[in-house]
């Protein structure tokens, strides 16, 4: 959250510094200009005194139509500063052609042409340098021609120094925002290539469309590549809801959280797709169409974010905050783009660009937060799998390795016979009396017998001892061969130790084999089993011999 506050603070500071009144205040205060309709080939008078009569012949206009047209904006000017170098600028809208005429009471006449397709004296505006002398009255006549206006144009006069400083600051802010947008777009597209999460794909395309739309709005391709194609401008803005809807479908998991809102989003996305050709075929109305669709999209996106947040999707809080940053300048500029309200602030387009950049940064944080949550879920899932894996390898009763764990260990052993690096001994232990204990004392005592056997074996002071229960009454003990004497001592004394635990006459059998005596893991266990069988037979022969000796002595007596 501290990083988020820092980002918002620096964005706000950049905006305030860029639009500081000391930079934007005009040296000459212009009255509200007279507005008239213009004819395509209509020219102004050549003399200062002829302007009032000429104005009387023009068709007065109440306002500039956003669907385009030709207009005259005429205002008187009087210089109140000693400097003579000034800049006249038509701003606040994309204008295809701008002509400035300045007629002075001293008989001077100046003309300059600017506009969308004309060369630029200053970055990102239509300003032209003019000469105005103190004490002279002037008429400023501006002829505007464009197929559409994104908002009502405004005329300003500033000193060259102040206008250059303002232009440089605005250019720096615009380039920083556009550079940030391009970086975010490419970064998220690269992430998509690496993890194939479609949320990153559509987010990258959304930010790239935002970058392209504003780059065209501020004439960056015209400055750099002399590329002029007005029809493309709103094509990118109309595509914003399309990419963003697909983004928040995957990011917010909207079809799962709210199927109804997802259907509404699909309807809006379809409307945007249908509206895409209007940027070319209905150019005069494309700004209005784009503004309506963008307002609907922002309202719907904030609603979707709130619904998903209330239903428990935590990253949606960044999503809501991001669209709030986009909503605030949009509320200011979009109604003006539709002709519903006047512009409330200067440089509303820059404010919207900054809001969109903050939106892109915050949505990046939302994606990063989602990645963090996914990583945490993945880590928890891996831990659960590890626990389940460990449990699957343990015998539930004795808590030692089970047959699966034993097979896994045996398959990991590679050195046998003459390839042995570390000689190991494998002891196969069978609890012969387990069945009789279960039948006479009950299964509970049989279970306790197995647990006691494990405790006694684990108490053996053998380094690197491994213990497995491979069947109901069979255990495997694996230890380095140097521990065989101690292992034999423990196994031979097991009967007495079990007797001390209440299991009298408990019988055990075991067989030991070395990995140096066999060629593979199966032979290793098989040899131990053979030795166990041989040990059991020897024990039975010994018991039989002892019984026969007792019978002979009784017969002789």
Give the pLDDT confidence of 64-116 residue by residue, as tens digits. 888 889 999 999 998 877 888 999 999 888 899 999 999 999 999 999 999 98
Q: What is the DSSP letter of 119?
A: -
- d(Cα 466, Cα 460) in Å, to the nearest integer? 11
Confidence of residue 341 (pLDDT cuts 50, 70, 90): low
Give CA angle at 170 (340, 146), nearest 5°: 45
Give the pLDDT confidence of 256-287 residue by residue, as tens digits. 888 999 999 999 999 999 999 988 888 888 88
Alpha helix ranges (H) inside 276-314: 278-281, 283-310
Q: Tell me the mean pLDDT in the region 462-488.
A: 89
- d(Cα 525, Cα 395) in Å, to the nearest integer? 19
CA atoms within 13 A on the CB side of 419: 7
- d(Cα 454, Cα 401) in Å, to the nearest integer? 11
Q: Which of 130-144, 224-238, 375-389 has the lowest mean pLDDT?
A: 375-389
Beta carbons of 490 and 433 less than 8 angstroms apart: no
CA atoms within 13 A on the CB side of 538: 9
Checking if the pLDDT of 160 tops 50, the result is: yes
Confidence of residue 60 (pLDDT cuts 50, 70, 90): very high
**Crossing angle of helices 233-251/259-275, nearest 10°?**
160
- d(Cα 481, Cα 529) in Å, to the nearest integer? 18
Beta carbons of 98 and 114 less than 8 angstroms apart: yes
Beta carbons of 29 and 110 less than 8 angstroms apart: no
Q: What pLDDT score does 336 carry?
A: 53
Checking if the pLDDT of 366 tops 50, the result is: yes
Fold of 28-159: Immunoglobulin-like (2.60.40)
Q: What pLDDT score does 205 carry?
A: 92
Residue matched to tokens 């067989």: 511
- d(Cα 478, Cα 489) in Å, to the nearest integer? 15
Checking if the pLDDT of 1 tops 90, the result is: no
- d(Cα 86, Cα 131) in Å, to the nearest integer? 6
Spell out the domain ranges in the chain: 28-159, 197-382, 403-541
Q: What pLDDT score does 507 carry?
A: 84
Beta carbons of 101 and 109 less than 8 angstroms apart: yes
Q: Which has the closest alpha carbon to 76: 105, 36, 112, 108?
A: 105
3-state secondary structure of 430: strand
Checking if the pLDDT of 328 tops 80, the result is: no
- What token pair was written down for 356? 């969109």
Q: Tell me the mean pLDDT in the region 210-220.
A: 89
Q: Tell me the mean pLDDT in the region 44-51.
A: 92
Mean pLDDT (the chain) is 83
Q: Fold identical between 28-159 and 403-541? A: no
136 Rama sector, left if φ>0, alpha if ψ -120 to 50, beta otherwise: beta
Checking if the pLDDT of 20 tops 50, the result is: no
Which residue has better confidence, 556 or 543?
543
Q: Which of 409-423, 430-444, 535-549 has the lowest mean pLDDT?
A: 535-549
Q: What pLDDT score does 340 carry?
A: 53
Confidence of residue 232 (pLDDT cuts 50, 70, 90): confident
pTM over the 0.85 mark: no
- d(Cα 183, Cα 186) in Å, to the nearest integer? 5
Confidence of residue 325 (pLDDT cuts 50, 70, 90): low
Continuous segment of H or E residues that includes residue 480: strand 474-480
Q: Among residues of the chain, what percentage have pLDDT more than 90?
A: 25
Checking if the pLDDT of 338 tops 60, the result is: no
Q: Which CATH number, 3.30.70.270, 3.40.50.720, 2.40.240.10, 3.40.605.10, labels domain 403-541?
A: 3.30.70.270
Confidence of residue 38 (pLDDT cuts 50, 70, 90): very high
Q: Which of 293-297, 328-332, 422-426, 468-472 has the lowest mean pLDDT?
A: 328-332
Beta carbons of 155 and 73 less than 8 angstroms apart: yes
- What token pair was written down for 309? 């947040």
Residues 6+ apart with CB under 8 A from 232: 216, 279
Q: What pLDDT score does 334 carry?
A: 59
């Amino acid at each position: 959250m501290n990083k988020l506050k820092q980002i918002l603070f620096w964005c706000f500071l950049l905006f305030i510094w860029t639009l500081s009144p000391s930079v934007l205040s005009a040296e000459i205060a212009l009255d509200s200009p007279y507005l008239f309709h213009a004819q395509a080939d209509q020219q102004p008078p050549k003399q200062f005194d002829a302007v009032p009569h000429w104005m009387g012949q023009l068709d007065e206009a109440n306002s500039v139509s956003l669907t385009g047209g030709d207009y005259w904006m005429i205002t008187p000017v009087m210089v109140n500063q000693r400097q003579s170098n000034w800049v006249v600028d038509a701003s606040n809208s994309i204008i295809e052609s701008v002509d400035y005429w300045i007629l002075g009471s001293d008989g001077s006449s100046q003309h300059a042409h600017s506009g969308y397709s004309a060369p630029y004296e200053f970055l990102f505006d239509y300003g032209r340098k003019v000469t105005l002398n103190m004490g002279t009255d002037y008429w400023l006549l501006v002829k505007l021609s464009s197929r559409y206006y994104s908002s009502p144009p405004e005329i300003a006069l500033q000193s060259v120094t102040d206008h250059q400083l303002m232009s440089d600051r605005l250019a720096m802010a615009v380039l920083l925002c556009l550079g940030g947008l391009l970086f975010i777009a490419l970064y998220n597209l690269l992430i998509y290539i690496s993890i194939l999460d479609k949320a990153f794909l559509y987010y990258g395309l959304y930010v790239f469309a935002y970058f392209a739309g504003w780059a065209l709005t501020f004439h960056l391709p015209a400055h750099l590549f002399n590329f002029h194609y007005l029809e493309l401008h709103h094509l990118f803005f109309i595509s914003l809801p399309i990419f963003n809807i697909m983004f928040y479908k995957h990011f917010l998991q909207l079809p799962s959280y709210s199927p109804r809102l997802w259907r509404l989003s699909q309807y809006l996305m379809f409307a945007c797709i249908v509206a895409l050709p209007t940027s070319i075929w209905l150019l005069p109305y494309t700004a209005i169409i784009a503004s309506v669709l963008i307002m609907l999209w922002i309202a719907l996106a904030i609603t979707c974010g709130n619904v998903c947040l209330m239903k428990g999707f935590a990253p949606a809080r960044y999503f809501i905050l991001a669209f709030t940053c986009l909503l605030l300048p949009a509320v200011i500029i979009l109604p003006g783009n539709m002709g519903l309200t006047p512009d409330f602030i200067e440089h509303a387009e820059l404010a919207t660009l900054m809001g969109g950049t903050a939106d892109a940064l915050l949505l990046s944080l939302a994606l990063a937060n989602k990645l963090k949550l996914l990583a945490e879920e993945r880590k928890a899932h891996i831990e659960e799998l590890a626990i389940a894996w460990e449990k699957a390898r343990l015998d539930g009763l004795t808590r030692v390795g089970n047959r699966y764990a034993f097979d896994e260990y045996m398959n990991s052993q590679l050195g046998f016979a003459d390839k042995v690096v570390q000689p190991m001994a494998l002891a196969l232990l069978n609890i012969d009396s387990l069945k009789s204990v279960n039948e006479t004392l009950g299964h509970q005592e049989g279970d306790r017998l197995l647990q006691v056997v494990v405790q006694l074996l684990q108490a053996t002071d053998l380094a690197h001892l491994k213990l497995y229960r491979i069947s109901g009454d069979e255990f495997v003990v694996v230890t380095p061969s140097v521990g065989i004497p101690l292992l034999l001592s423990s196994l031979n004394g097991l009967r007495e130790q079990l007797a001390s635990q209440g299991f009298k006459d408990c019988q055990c059998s075991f067989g030991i084999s070395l990995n140096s005596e066999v060629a593979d893991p199966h032979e290793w266990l098989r040899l131990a089993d053979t030795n166990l069988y041989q040990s059991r037979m020897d024990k039975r022969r010994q018991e039989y011999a002892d019984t026969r000796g007792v019978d002979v002595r009784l017969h002789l007596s």
